Amino acid sequence: MARSLERLAYRSRATVSVDSLLLIADVLAVSQRNNRRDGVSGALTYSDGVFFQVVEGYPEDLDRLLRRLSEDPRHSAITIVHRAPVAGRLFGEWSMTAPRIAPDLAPAMKKAVEESDIAPSLAIETLRRLATASPQAD
């Protein structure tokens, strides 16, 4: 039986200040290392102390990622806003990427985080556009 890919989107509250570029760089570095190992791809953004992340991979790899997140002291109140089988990846170019931190992208990053709570599909598309427009390749 063929394994099927899934796309998972979640929100979490940051337990530490996300104003630090070092913190974001650390989150990205750890995510990139783990996701490369596990065959997971995705993108991350944040606004007002809330992370919004979309990840794609096989169900068992996404479940492992969720277990790691639940133990990560930088995240609290993890809420899955979307999880579904998919035919292909939207974020396949990156083990993990994030839009570059720039004032001109802040409104779109905020929009993605806010949409994730009420319209996850729109938030996923907003994050895809942000990642494509300003990728931080890994």
pLDDT tens-digit readout, 44-54: 888 888 889 99
Q: Maximum CA pair distance of the chain?
A: 47
pLDDT digits (tens, 9 = 90+) for 64-110: 999 998 998 888 889 999 999 999 999 888 888 877 667 778 888 88
Q: Report CA-CA distances (Å) from 40 to 101, 102, 125.
A: 23, 26, 18
How many other β-carbons are positioned within 10 Å of the β-carbon of residue 66?
A: 15
Sorted by where each starts, the structural domains of the chain and their CATH numbers stand as: 5-133 (3.30.70.100)
Residue 101, classed as helix, strand or coil, is coil
pLDDT digits (tens, 9 = 90+) for 14-40: 877 666 667 777 778 888 888 899 999
* Cα(119)–Cα(69) distance, integer angstroms: 23
Amino acid at residue number 99: P
